[in-house]
Each structure stands twice: as structure tokens, then as C-alpha cells.
Amino acid sequence: MDGRDHQHAMDDNSTRDRIRALVRDVLDKALPQEGEGDQRPSETSSRFIDTATKSRDTASETTTTRDESSKTVITEDDVRDLASGSVLRIAEGARLTPLAADIVSEKKIEIVRRVPRRGSKASRLIAVGADHGGFKMKEELKAFLNELGHQVHDFGTNSEDPVDYPDFAYAVARSVAEGTADVGIVIDGAGVGSAMTANKVPGVRAAACYSVAVARNSREHNGANVLTLGSKTISSAEMRDIVQAWLATELTEERHRKRVGKIEAIEKQYLR
């Protein structure tokens, strides 16, 4: 190697050394200090994930509210999948089974008992509906309920033009099941079709009643929360007596509550 080649080699080595030094300097300034290593990036990532998770959990816990106010007995199946800190709305006189009570306590679920409107057990918000055959009697029913001091949510129909009774029975039943109405009353020609329809809605126990005795029984023994009537089978006076008796009767005895609990257990088998 002559002198010029030797000098070029030295210059190349010097240039590479300067470049390496520059790169190390840049890397030293960009990377975490010794001891921090991978910790800082992972901490940043972890903080982001944890914050997002907590935010979602908090939002879920503050907005998760389940309404089971149409039921007289709350079982473990009603509360098992609720998140901790949730709110459970139940009827004023509803009871929890021992297992349900344990879950509620363990998850710190807030129980809110639904107090009938206007602060009186005699006052309720009642969903009403009828097909064309029950329209006239429904209008009489609304006036009668107002006389008794109840509030009414009328789901129709609004004339004697032909309509399909399942549409109105379903609207009333769903309102009761979702807790937006305390109880419901549906009127069609016989009361049977509306009862069949309403009973397809989970949480609803509809009873077709043709006498005061049956009306009382449907409430006291079966915890009915929807009453169906047949405009062609009862008179206006009988309608008033049946409705008044039905609204004045409650499911109170433990032996009847237990049996209604079995009705609800059967229903749950087909909801899974």
C-alpha cells in the first residue's frame, strides 16, 4: 500500500468512527436512561390501557340499571350476570331468594324498590289497549281508571276500524315487562287472544277474567300483572267491578309467591 492509499484508509476509518460516535450520541439521547429500559414504554402503554378499561367499567357501572319491577320474586338468575355496583329496580313488595340476596350483597348491587306513583299503593300508571271490538269499552275503562285516581297510558286503537289485537296486547305487555307501567289491561272481543299474546312477553302474567272472583284469584294466587277482558262477554258494569277488584288485590301470601316463582322458573328455561 503506498502513502496515499494508507492516508485514504486512515481517513475512512476516522469518518466511520465519527459516524459511529454520532449515532451513539443520538441513541443515548433518544433511549431511556439505564435502569428504565423497557419499563417506560410499557408503563405508558399500561397506563393507557388501564385508564381506558377503568373508564369503560365506570361508565358501565354508573349506567347499568335493570328493571325487574314486574316480578314478585327475584331469583339468582335475575342478578347473576349484573356487574358490580349495578342498580336493580324491583317492585315495592318483591322479595329476593336467599341466593339472589347473597349475589346482591357480594356485588354491592343497589336495590331500588319501585314505589307506586303519587306515593299511594292505590295509585298506579296503567297501560291500556284494545282492538276495534274493545275500543268502546276501553274508552269507558279509561274514564273509570281516572275516577279511581290512576294514570293511564293508552296504546290504542283509537277507533272501531278493524285492527289486529296482537299489536295492542303486545304493546301493553311490553310496557309492563319493561317497567314503564305498573300493570296493564287489554280488551278485545273475548279476552283470550290478547291474553295469549301478552303471555308471550317474558315477565308478563296475563289473565283473562270474566268475574270478580277470577279477577281476585288471578292477582292473589297468580300475581297477574296484565288483565284481559272480553267486550262481548261482560257488560260495562261487570267490567268496572272486575277492574276494581283486580286492582285492589295483591299477591301477599308466601305460599302463593312460591308458586309464582315456579312459573317464572319455567319461563326462564325457554329464555336461555
Q: What are the residue numbers of the active site?
A: 221
Distance of alpha carbon 25 from alpha carbon 205, whole angstroms: 78
DSSP 35: T
Tell me how crowded residue 71 is: count the other CB atoms within 10 A of its CB: 22
Distance of alpha carbon 191 from alpha carbon 206, whole angstroms: 10
Query: CA Rg, the chain, in Å?
Result: 34
Is there a cis peptide before residue 97, judged by omega within 30 degrees of 0?
A: no
Residue 190 in 3-state DSSP? coil
Distances in Å between the Cα of 233 and the Cα atoms of 17, 73, 133, 191, 209 are 106, 33, 11, 9, 10
Distance of alpha carbon 121 from alpha carbon 37, whole angstroms: 68
Q: For residue 223, give the C-alpha cell.
A: 300475581
Residue 130 in 3-state DSSP? strand
